[in-house]
Amino acid sequence: MRESRLKLTAGFAALIIVSVLFIVPFLWLLRSSLMDLSQIFIMPPQWIPKPFHFENFINALTVVPFGAFFKNTVIIVAGVLLGTVVSSTVAAFGFSRIRWKGRETVFAILMSTMMLPAAVTLIPSFIGWKTLGFYDTFYPLIAPAYFGGGIFNIFLLRQFYMTIPQDFDEAALVDGANYFQIYWRVILPLSRSAVIVVALFTFLGSWNDFMGPLIYLKSDTRFTLALGLQMFQGSYTAQWDLLMAASTVVILPCIVVFLIGQRYFLEGITLTGLKG
């Protein structure tokens, strides 16, 4: 009994230490956002701002058009989220619940594309979108989500769908349902946790995406929040106080979304690994 308590205590202590290591950068960001520029890098570090400069947030959100950046980001994230959830759930349904010739071979080929670095397809993709006339538009950032939603999301959902007994499909077919009705009325309601996991991954990835907007967007009026943060950094200096304040505001939606969906996130991650 005593040995078990010691192991439990040691486990909790290790978790606390790791948690502190992860939370320190966020605390540094938060304290820097409330400091004057001259206080941020003094040594030894000053953790409590004296005084608190709450005006940093107002200045950060007004010195650059953050309202327009926020609107652009929401449009892109909403489009990507909808496309990814719809297309990945449909594709995963086809790879897990419908038997067709060559299914496993096609899925294996798609899985192999995960080993392909994104940099390899960057230039051909850019040339293709520019040739189509979609450079400096949101289409290159949104449209790909409607063509499968990403092989990782398909794999994640497929693993979950395979844990649902085939008896449900057979019972629905006997009752006269078609495959779309099975997908919509049987599989989706039972896979809510896995779908929420995909939605969370997609939201976080799209919200924080920097490379995509940097490559495809040229006009300042179409910039996203990730690109907007770069405006606080010049060639030789940076407005670190405003940059920290703006960064705090940008990551808040990510924290809120994760806190709301963390129960489904943990449940979905656990369940999607039950069966290969």
Element (H, E) at 9: helix 2-33
Give the chain's length: 276
| 72-124 pLDDT per residue, tens | 999 999 999 999 999 999 999 999 988 889 899 999 999 998 888 888 888 99
Q: Is pLDDT of 205 > 70?
A: yes
> Comparing 63-77, 132-146, 246-260, which segment has the lowest mean pLDDT?
246-260
Overall pTM surpassing 0.75 (yes/no): yes
Confidence of residue 236 (pLDDT cuts 50, 70, 90): very low
* pLDDT at res. 271: 54
C-alpha distances (whole Å) from 182 to each of 191, 194, 240, 244, 273 are: 12, 17, 53, 48, 23
C-alpha distances (whole Å) from 167 to each of 91, 158, 160, 163 are: 20, 17, 15, 11
Confidence of residue 175 (pLDDT cuts 50, 70, 90): confident
- Please give the Cα distance from 12 to 14 (Å, whole number): 5
- The more confidently predicted of residues 273 and 206 is 206
Confidence of residue 217 (pLDDT cuts 50, 70, 90): very high
Confidence of residue 222 (pLDDT cuts 50, 70, 90): very high
Give me the mean pLDDT over the 245-257 stretch: 89
Count of Cβ atoms closer than 10 Å to residue 214 Cβ = 14
Residue % of the chain over a pLDDT of 70: 93
Amino acid at 69: F
Give me the mean pLDDT over the 161-172 stretch: 88
Q: Is pLDDT of 188 > 50?
A: yes
